[in-house]
Structure 1
């Protein structure tokens, strides 16, 4: 399995428009964060989790020439608003793009991208097939994916486990039974917004506490805001098996 972090930033990205803090002015490429997304390659298949507003830029940067499915964690715009750019894959692959998400999320996509689902469709719009998922394992092209139910304040969202890799973003609470689905993962990517507590995201200390309990071989933090601090300085404070994620980071399992 090859995993690429396409984006590791919060909903505003880093740098934040108009901000002059030291993180937003940093010249370290690891402090430049597009909206959060991940690409997974396994058994010759290509899957992306979430298509935020930077989707086009991300797939161009990583030269992702094929895409077999797009999976959504939840319906917030920083995770969905790049959906229109799957058109390129429709043209190249000559087939509809499978979209996987909860029924609630797919209904939101129908509202926000109404032109895709209209009875009278304009030529050249994205072509999709919708596949509702529940909190039960499902398959994409023979790859088993296990949803992990987590809470993003009051909004239920999904993380996902594929083999020994678990990916959980936009979370401030994981129930014990859902935590057990993650346990045993060799690599975990987990939400950590900033050092201070937040109403709908793990803080740095909260994320570290969860990871120290789970003890994966490697863990990477994502959905990081400019308030986290400089990448190089934050990493010095972390346990050795936990690193800050950064855009373009590649992991092999």
Structure 2
């Protein structure tokens, strides 16, 4: 399968509005980070989206995403779901509802925010038509197995996801031992790394590196980064097999 990083940035994106720092004014395109989301394209062409960031339309056009077959939601915070309305284009094009997957708490919050979109289809396609699927254990999207990965984000339990030997964990402050067991044997990990300083609901830089070492995949890509992290300088300081993700990064993953 192929994983495309649609956005590697945190809730404000980079550049940050009104900021005069060197990273926000950098000419390096790898320092331009839209809000966090990724696309998984399976070998049969199935497109599985992780989160719909507020920048999803721009990301979808940049990557020429022709269809979305399912969406995995990690949680309901604005930077991970407020691009949901742009799924409308795919529902209109194919006259087909899109299933969305989340845990109970996330789905309840999404229904409050997007009641108009999470509904049964009618003869009209003027809004997204999304079918809610609450998950707490292994499930399938077509023939593809997806394992939810419960993690802690501040005081809230949210989900990462594992498909084959790939795992995606954003917005995390704690990974329970039971979830670490589900991560055994992965080859590629995408992992939250908000900034250098610790944060009550996210991994900081040292925590991310420590967890990457503990899980020990063949390669780890850090995501959900603020303008605190300058691509070239930080990349030069990373241990072997740990990398900074960037918008547009494409990874081939053998399962």
TM-score by length of 1: 0.95
Distance 1:2 1:117, change over 3 A: closer
- How many Å separate the matches in 1 of 2:194 and 2:106? 23
Q: Any unmatched runs of 5+ in structure 1?
A: none
C-alpha offsets along residues 215-251 of structure 1, whole Å, 9 cap, x if unaligned?
21111000000112x1000011101200000000000
Distance 1:114 1:127, change over 3 A: same
C-alpha offsets along residues 24-74 of structure 1, whole Å, 9 cap, x if unaligned?
010100000000001001132110010010011111110010110011001
> What residue is the counterpart of 2:135 in the other structure?
133
Give the deviation of 1:117 after TM superposition: 5.0
| Cα-Cα RMSD | 1.6
TM-score by length of 2: 0.95
> What residue is the counterpart of 1:227 in the other structure?
228
> What residue is the counterpart of 2:47 in the other structure?
46
> What residue is the counterpart of 1:74 in the other structure?
75
- How many Å separate the matches in 1 of 2:112 and 2:119? 10
Give the deviation of 1:82 after TM superposition: 0.5
Q: Which runs of 4+ in 1 moved over 2 A?
A: 114-119
- How many Å separate the matches in 2 of 1:71 and 1:161? 11
> What residue is the counterpart of 1:124 in the other structure?
126
Q: Any unmatched runs of 5+ in structure 2?
A: none
Matches within 5 A, 1:1-253: 1-42=1-42, 43-116=44-117, 124-134=126-136, 136-228=137-229, 230-253=230-253
Give the deviation of 1:109 after TM superposition: 1.6
